[in-house]
Amino acid sequence: MPNNLGSTYTFPGTNLTVNRMGYGAMQLAGPHVFGPPKDEAACIAVLREALESGVNHIDTSDFYGPHVTNQIIKKALHPYKPGLVIVTKLGASRGADGSWNLSSKKEDLVAGLHDNLRNLGLDAMDVVNLRVGGVSAPTDAPLDDPMTTLAELQQQGLIRHIGLSNVTAKQLAEAQKIAPIVCVQNMYNVAHRTDDALIDSLAQQGIPYVPFFPLGGFTPLQSNDLNEVAASLSATPMQVALAWLLHRSPNILLIPGTSSLAHLRENLAAATLELSPETLTRLNAIGAAK
């Protein structure tokens, strides 16, 4: 396994070891994460090159599309290489109008899991994240019922490990009373630092933190500091933002997404960027100023 993708990390209590630079599949779907892509062949090429480059951690969900991204992953990569870790999430579905419909009801979680398994061509998921909260920020919703459902599916052998997405530290503690949690996926980037304390707590527990919107999401990061640092390193601002995350804590795993080979190569190259202590101090100030 190559070590040029930000070193490796092992999900706690598992035999799943991944390179810290992974791939997020959301952008394989059409505009607004709905419908098919304009160029499916390009998406397939991106997935195959990602794996050839050492990526062995793919983040997806069957509500991307819906169904589209998982079907493309299967078409591109099935049968899957040994060591490839596919992580999905449950807790939402898509309306015919493209709307996002959040639901943690048992029947919806079970149906969503079987959609993932069918469209990916799997008998069991490596990791399933329970997605809760709002669009980008957690709420204080209780997790007892949906976590119990996922624990039951785990006991049935359909889920190997359970993670959480868009949660608070309190919700994490509640979930851990029901089943072991192997990862947390929340919004975090160099300018959005709400989870600093949670990341440090998870690192102490050996639990990986997987930031979504690592580059700002639908409102890409903009900063003079990012631009100036990037220019000094002959890199792009987005590469610097990804490199900062890898430097931030060894338990951070990245899943930047793209349907472009050029952007894929740019993202993967960010794992090789070295940031000096002075540069890190300057970048840290971006979030501290918020």
Q: Exactly one of 23, 64, 80, 209 is catalytic; which is it?
A: 64
Concerning whether 64 is annotated as a catalytic residue, the answer is yes
Helix (H, G, I), strand (E, B) or coil at 284: helix
Chain CA centroid to CA 118, Å: 21
Residues in the chain: 290
- CB-CB contact of 212 with 186 (8 Å): yes
Cα angle at 64 between 8 and 195, to 5 degrees?
A: 50
Helix (H, G, I), strand (E, B) or coil at 187: strand
Instruction: Kindly report whether the peptide bond that precedes residue 237 is cis, defined as omega within 30 degrees of 0.
Output: no
Helix (H, G, I), strand (E, B) or coil at 168: coil
Pairing of the two strands 85-90 and 17-19: unpaired
Catalytic residues: 64
